[in-house]
Amino acid sequence: MRASNFRTLLRNCLCVLALAAAALMPCAASAQSSNQDPCGDGSGIMPVADKSLGVCGLDDTEQAVVYEGDLSIPFSIRSCWADWEGNEWSTAYCSKSRDYTMEVIGPAQGQKFLLSGPSGNVAVTLEFHHPSTTATTIIPGQVTSTRFRGAANGQQTPVYFSLTPDSTVAPAPGIYRGTLQLYLYQCNPWGDPNNPYDPIICKGSTASDNRTELNPPLTLDIALVVGSSIRISGLEDMVLQMPNPLADITAEQHFCVYTTANSDFSLRADSLNGNGEFLLGGVSSSDTIAYEINILSEIPPKKKAKLTEGVFTKKDWKGHASLDCTGYSDENMLLELTIPAANLANPQDYQYMDTLTLTVEMN
């Protein structure tokens, strides 16, 4: 249930083998980390590649996020290098920092990933957040151009993914799932980003004695939980002037009511000064002026209801599919306010005010 107040005022690397005249020329292969030490500091007895790269917090767990709630997935990354004195037969600290790039593969449409659920697919934008740089949008199947900083001495760097669902159409309640594949590519520790003859290479580098890659990729299972929700917005204060000559005062304004999957809703209006009727109260006296409220739906089938103060309507209106009615360009509800001329005949105060609270409830 949601309420809104307003006031009324009266006023991967490819290796190629080449054969020529019975001579075999091997291609160097990149070292690969299997993420066997995801959360440690890389100082244990293990292959150098596994010392050097670890992703902590994403293994073997479905990452659940809540629509219109916390849409972040926190984890940490170790990216460093121990040189060859540290291997599967000895202990050595992963002392040197290594930058890395990232690639994520999964169901996608354009530049967004797709999660599947009760009403089809939900398109989401995926961003990677690292403390040393601004948020980086992850394009499906593309390696990031940004190189992210690792840390020396096997330190884990806290990072997170954030998801932004497409807000054009709200999904029906349910759970929307997707499985993504995360690749990390350490960069060679030399090179000049501004020199094409001495580039810094990450994915595709064959410098296996200085960097590694996360391979096989890490599986990232995501579940987007969409609950039933309703939201009212777009209401503003109304300032009214006393007509001369005396006549009915009328005013109106559009507002937005969003519900998941265009679910039906009902509405109640409460007057701060009234009890069973809508009343404007004098600011310096106890005098009151009664007014009337009608609510209309702008979404077919259009319905109109004259409201009784403090009572939910029996009308079932359709909610809008967009949280803000497409930037408030397509508001689905209309409020009409009328003060009959007869109620204005003998005012005892110079200004009258009321706070009208609209409460919406899904059926």
Q: CA angle, 127 as apex, 125 and 128 as ends, to 5°?
A: 160
What pLDDT is stored for residue 82 in this prediction? 83
pLDDT tens column, 60-76: 689 999 988 899 999 99
What pLDDT is stored for residue 15 in this prediction? 29
Domains 30-226 and 228-362 share a fold: yes
> Rounded to whole angstroms, how far apart are CA atoms 68 and 165?
9
**pLDDT interval class at 46 (50, 70, 90):** confident
Is residue 6's pLDDT more than 80?
no
**pLDDT interval class at 88 (50, 70, 90):** low
Alpha carbons within 13 A on the beta-carbon side of 242: 12
Cis peptide, bond prior to residue 131, ω within 30 of zero:
no
Residue 270 — φ and ψ, nearest 5°?
-120, 130
The structural domains of the chain, with segments of one domain joined by +, span: 30-226, 228-362
> Rounded to whole angstroms, how far apart are CA atoms 317 and 362?
9
> Rounded to whole angstroms, how far apart are CA atoms 180 and 254?
42
pLDDT tens column, 229-248: 899 999 999 999 999 899 99
Overall fold of domain 228-362: Immunoglobulin-like (2.60.40)
Residues counted in the chain:
363
**pLDDT interval class at 262 (50, 70, 90):** confident
**pLDDT interval class at 121 (50, 70, 90):** very high
What pLDDT is stored for residue 321 in this prediction? 86
Give the chain's mean pLDDT. 88
What pLDDT is stored for residue 106 in this prediction? 98
What value does the mean pLDDT take over residues 153-160? 96
What pLDDT is stored for residue 337 in this prediction? 98
Architecture of the domain made up of 30-226: Sandwich (2.60)
pTM tops 0.75: no
**pLDDT interval class at 3 (50, 70, 90):** low
